[in-house]
Amino acid sequence: QVQLVESGGGLVQAGGSLRLSCAASGRTFSSYAMGWFRQAPGKDAEVVAAMNWSGDTTYYADSVKGRFTISRDDAKNTVYLQMNSLKPEDTAVYYCAVDRTAFSVVAHEYDYWGQGTQVTVSS
């Protein structure tokens, strides 16, 4: 069992920045692929960014390329999402998730999910 706890969400003006953190329990964190997803009201969940276990492969949704950066610190069992140049359309609940078996950008292939953190970007 892996437990994930997100933090760092909040209210920010357009153009601002936030850094989300996701702390994971478990001794094998370094072997997991990690992903960040988001869900806005009335919309399906979408992948934002993902990183494989070693950190040498990443994926970004087109909508966030050049603005968001996913990173991980295995010593702290934590994955981050640095979000810059935020836009009102980035408003959503953001979730981190663990994929124990493979690198994926598909939500249903992830095994464990955090509770989510709200990000609201005002115009």
Name the token pair of 117: 């953190």
Positive/negative CA dihedral, 53, 60, 99, 113: positive
- Give tens-digit pLDDT for 6-52: 999 999 999 999 999 999 987 778 889 999 999 999 999 999 999 99
Residue showing tokens 């979408």: 46
Q: Measuring CA to CA, how many Å separate 37 from each of 33, 68, 75, 123? A: 13, 12, 23, 22
pLDDT digits (tens, 9 = 90+) for 51-83: 999 999 999 999 999 999 999 999 999 999 999
DSSP 80-112: EEEE-S--GGG-EEEEEEEESSS----GGG--E
